[in-house]
Amino acid sequence: MTDGRDIRNSRARNDVSTGARDVLTGARDVSAGRRADINIVLYKDFTALDVFGPVEVLGDVDDFRLRYVSLEGGIITNRQSIRLETEPFATVARGQIVLVPGGFGSRKSIKDERFIAALRQLVDDADCVLCVCTGSALVAETGALDGRIATTNTRAFDWVADGHPAVEWVRGARWVTDGKYYTSAGVSAGIDMALGFVGDRYGLAAARDIAERMEYRWDE
């Protein structure tokens, strides 16, 4: 499939064709102005900035309600001493947005069959899936990215790609879109991807305004 695909590559961003952008922008009509939950999937030892970079962007959009969810709900912790309250996966409504961060814990969660099966359900039921860093490995493990283009953390690239050969992994991209799936490179790239998502849905000016408020030099 080639519809709705785009590669946003900081090293080759001038090569992004207008055609590819037009294809992407076409998706905007479907979803602009629609209220949605952003269900942020947490698990033990997620990476903070993978979550809170995109949160800083998406929290600026009035249409979006941010929710932090985990398989069972309750307090989720990580190596950055975070203790965050979450709601269970079972509370996630269909037709919403799911954000999957990466982190050290992804190497453990990827082997947790119950977690991966439940994540597959969330992903299938979602209108849009945003993966940051090794979050794409978790979603790839569900099989949902098979045959699609995607990217992931630069340092973990081979681990992720070798483990999921049915995905067309794009090395060196800042973020990649394929249909309802957005995937970004490592950690801070999630901010650029979230801005790109807002740009696709609400227009470039809206995304740039958020970047300016954050005093963030967006790698468009």
Please report, as ranges, the residues that interact with a copy of itself according to CB under 8 A.
47-49, 51-53, 55-56, 59, 65-68, 75, 79-85, 153-155, 185-189, 191, 213-217, 219
Which residues are CB-neighbours of 152 under 8 A, at least 6 positions away? 102, 131, 133, 134, 136, 137, 160, 161, 169, 183, 185, 186
Taking the least distance from each CB to a copy of itself, the nearer of 104 and 120 is: 104
CA distance 183 to 100: 9
CA distance 50 to 209: 21
Give how far the C-alpha of residue 39 lies from the chain's centroid of Cα atoms, to the nearest Å.
Answer: 11
Give the nearest distance from C-beta 51 to a copy of itself in angstroms: 7
Contact predicate 182/123, CB 8 Å: no
Give the nearest distance from C-beta 157 to a copy of itself in angstroms: 11
Give the nearest distance from C-beta 67 to a copy of itself in angstroms: 6
Give the nearest distance from C-beta 150 to a copy of itself in angstroms: 16
9: phi then psi, degrees, rounded to nearest 5? -120, 115
Taking the least distance from each CB to a copy of itself, the nearer of 34 and 80 is: 80
Token pair, residue 15, equals 């090569």
Token pair, residue 166, equals 């049915």
Which residues are CB-neighbours of 212 under 8 A, at least 6 positions away? none
Contact predicate 38/58, CB 8 Å: yes
Give the nearest distance from C-beta 172 to a copy of itself in angstroms: 11
Taking the least distance from each CB to a copy of itself, the nearer of 10 and 25 is: 10
Taking the least distance from each CB to a copy of itself, the nearer of 28 and 107 is: 107
Give the nearest distance from C-beta 10 to a copy of itself in angstroms: 8
Angle (CA) 8 26 34, round 5°: 100
H or E stretch covering 39: strand 36-41
